[in-house]
C-alpha cells in the first residue's frame, strides 16, 4: 500500500509541474498578444473576443439576476417607506378635515346666533392676457375685456389665487391692468394676525415693499397679507401674499399671484361702499365762528331760526313765583252766641 502511494505521488508531481508550465506559457502568450501593436494582431484579438465573450453569458447570468434581486428589494423597501408615510399623512388629513368641518359648523352656528349680515358674493369677469405692456420702468398687461363688458376703472384684478393688480385704463374692447409690482402702485393692506394697516408700494421688483407700518417689531416673516378697504380701492379680505425679510432688511411681500404665468385674469365687480355724508340731527355742524350750519346744504343758519320759540331765552329768566298772602276766614254770623 505504501509503495502504491509513492508511485501515485511520483506520477502526480510531474503532471502538476507540466500543467503549471503550460499555464504560464499560455498566460505569457496572451500578455504578449495583448501588448503587440499590429493590425493583424488587433484583428486576431477582436476575433478572439467575439468568439469567447458571448459564450460567457451563462456565467454572468447568476450575477446579473442576483444584482436585479438586490435592486428590486431596495425598490420595494423604498416603496414600503413611502406607503407608510402616505398613510400617516392621510390620517393627519382626515383629522384636519374633521376639525375643519367642526369649525365650519361652529362658525355657522355662531353667525346664526349673532344674526350677522354678510356681504354679497363678489362676481367677476374673466379676461385673457393679450400682451405684456410692461417695461423695465412699468409693469402692466392688457386683457381682452373692456367697457362693453361693464369694466370700470379701478376694479381689482386676481389671477385665481391672489391679488394681481387693478384696472388702470378702460377701452371699448380691452383694458390695461397695472400690477402690484409697478412703481406707481399703492395698495392699502392689512397684516394678520396683528391687524396692522400698511401700504404696499411697488418698486419694479418681484416683492413689493411694506410702508407706513405703525409697529414693525410686531411683524414676523410669514404673516398673512390681505387687502384693506381703506379708501374704497379694493374689497377687503383679498389674499395678497405673505411677509418676507428682504435683502435690504426691509419688510416685503411675497405675492400669491404667479406673475410668471398670467394667462387669465379675473376682474372683480366690486360695489362702492355706501358713504354717509350727513351728520344727522343730533350732531349739527358748525363753522369756524361757532355758528350752526345746515346739514343738508352746509349753509349758515340764523341762531334764532333754529331755536324753539316756546323756550325762553337764556338772558331773560322767568320771574320767581310769589306766594299769596294768607287770609283768615270770616266768622259765621248765624253761629249761636255763647251764653252770658
Using only the alpha carbons of the chain, give its radius of gyration.
Answer: 49
Please check whether residue 279 lies inside any domain of the structure.
no
Go through 51-87 and write b for each residue having 16 or more CB atoms within 10 A of its CB, e for each that does not.
Answer: eeeeeeeeeeeeeeeeeeeeeeeeeeeeeeeeeeeee
Q: Are residues 259 and 150 in the same domain?
A: yes
Closest among 164, 162, 200 to 183, alpha carbons compared = 200
d(CA 88, CA 85): 5
Do 20 and 143 lie in a common domain? no
Do 261 and 129 share a domain, yes or no?
Answer: yes
What pLDDT shows up at residue 210? 94
* Cell numbers linked to 186: 399703492
Q: What is the pLDDT of residue 284?
A: 63
CA torsion, points 190, 227, 122, 232, in degrees to nearest 10?
100
Is 23 found in the same domain as 143? Answer: no
C-beta separation of 237 from 226 below 8 A: yes
Q: Which CATH number do you get for residue 172?
A: 2.40.10.340
Q: Please tell me whether residues 265 and 154 are part of one structural domain.
A: yes
Q: How many other CB atoms sit within 10 Å of the CB of residue 203?
A: 13
pLDDT at 136: 61
Residues forming a β-bridge with 140: 178
The predicted pLDDT at position 270 comes to 79
Tell me the C-alpha distance between 270 and 268, whole Å: 6
> What are the C-alpha distances in Å from 322 to residues 62, 316, 319, 325, 329?
134, 18, 9, 9, 21
142 and 264 assigned to the same domain: yes
Within this chain, do residues 46 and 130 fall inside the same structural domain, yes or no? Answer: no
7 belongs to a structural domain? yes
**Predicted local distance difference test score (pLDDT) of residue 234:** 84
Alpha carbon distance 333, 326 (integer Å): 22
Could you tell me if 24 and 131 lie in one domain?
no
For residue 307, what pLDDT is reported? 47
Query: 60 lies in a domain?
Result: no
Give the chain's domain count: 2
pTM here is 0.51
Low-confidence ranges of the chain (pLDDT < 70): 1-11, 34, 36, 52-59, 112-121, 133-137, 272-286, 290, 294-298, 301-340
Could you read off the pLDDT of 264-289 as tens digits, one per residue?
899 998 776 666 666 555 566 667 77
Which one, of 246, 190, 187, lies nearest residue 214 by Cα?
A: 190
Q: Rounded to the nearest 5 degrees, what angle is found at the Cα of 13, between the Cα atoms of 8 and 17?
A: 155
| Structure confidence by residue, pLDDT tens digits, 96-125 | 888 888 888 788 777 766 665 556 667 889
Supply the pLDDT for residue 272.
Answer: 67
Query: Which residues constitute the domain of residue 158?
Result: 123-269
Q: Which three cell numbers stand for residue 138?
A: 412699468
Q: Given 237, 269, 301, which residue is the final one in a domain?
A: 269
* 209: phi then psi, degrees, rounded to nearest 5: -100, 145
In whole angstroms, give the CA distance from residue 156 to residue 125. Answer: 11
Amino acid at each position: 500500500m505504501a509503495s502504491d502511494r509513492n508511485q501515485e505521488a511520483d506520477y502526480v508531481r510531474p503532471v502538476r509541474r507540466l500543467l503549471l508550465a503550460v499555464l504560464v506559457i499560455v498566460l505569457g502568450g496572451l500578455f504578449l498578444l495583448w501588448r503587440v501593436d499590429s493590425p493583424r494582431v488587433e484583428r486576431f484579438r477582436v476575433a478572439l473576443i467575439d468568439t469567447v465573450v458571448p459564450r460567457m453569458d451563462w456565467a454572468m447570468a447568476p450575477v446579473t439576476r442576483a444584482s436585479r434581486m438586490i435592486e428590486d428589494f431596495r425598490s420595494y423597501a423604498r416603496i414600503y417607506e413611502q406607503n407608510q408615510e402616505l398613510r400617516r399623512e392621510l390620517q393627519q388629513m382626515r383629522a384636519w378635515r374633521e376639525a375643519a368641518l367642526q369649525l365650519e359648523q361652529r362658525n355657522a352656528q355662531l353667525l346664526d346666533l349673532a344674526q350677522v349680515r354678510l356681504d354679497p358674493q363678489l362676481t367677476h369677469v374673466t379676461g385673457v392676457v393679450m400682451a405684456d405692456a410692461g417695461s423695465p420702468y412699468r409693469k402692466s398687461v392688457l386683457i381682452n375685456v373692456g367697457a362693453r363688458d361693464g369694466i370700470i376703472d379701478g376694479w381689482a384684478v386676481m389671477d385665481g389665487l391672489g391679488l394681481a393688480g387693478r384696472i388702470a385704463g378702460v377701452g371699448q374692447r380691452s383694458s390695461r391692468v397695472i400690477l402690484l409690482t409697478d412703481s406707481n402702485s399703492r395698495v392699502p393692506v392689512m397684516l394678520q394676525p396683528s391687524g396692522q394697516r400698511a401700504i404696499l408700494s411697488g418698486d419694479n421688483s418681484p416683492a413689493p415693499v411694506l410702508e407706513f407700518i405703525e409697529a414693525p417689531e410686531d411683524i414676523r416673516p410669514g404673516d398673512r397679507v390681505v387687502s384693506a378697504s381703506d379708501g374704497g380701492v379694493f374689497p377687503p379680505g383679498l389674499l395678497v401674499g405673505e411677509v418676507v425679510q428682504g435683502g435690504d432688511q426691509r419688510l416685503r411681500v411675497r405675492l400669491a399671484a404667479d406673475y410668471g404665468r398670467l394667462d387669465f385674469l379675473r376682474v372683480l365687480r366690486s360695489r362702492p361702499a355706501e358713504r354717509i355724508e350727513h351728520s344727522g340731527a343730533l350732531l349739527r355742524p358748525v363753522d369756524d365762528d361757532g355758528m350752526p350750519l345746515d346739514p343738508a346744504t352746509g349753509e349758515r343758519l340764523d341762531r334764532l331760526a333754529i331755536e324753539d320759540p316756546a323756550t325762553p331765552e337764556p338772558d331773560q329768566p322767568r320771574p320767581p313765583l310769589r306766594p299769596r298772602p294768607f287770609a283768615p276766614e270770616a266768622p259765621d254770623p248765624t253761629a249761636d252766641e255763647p251764653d252770658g
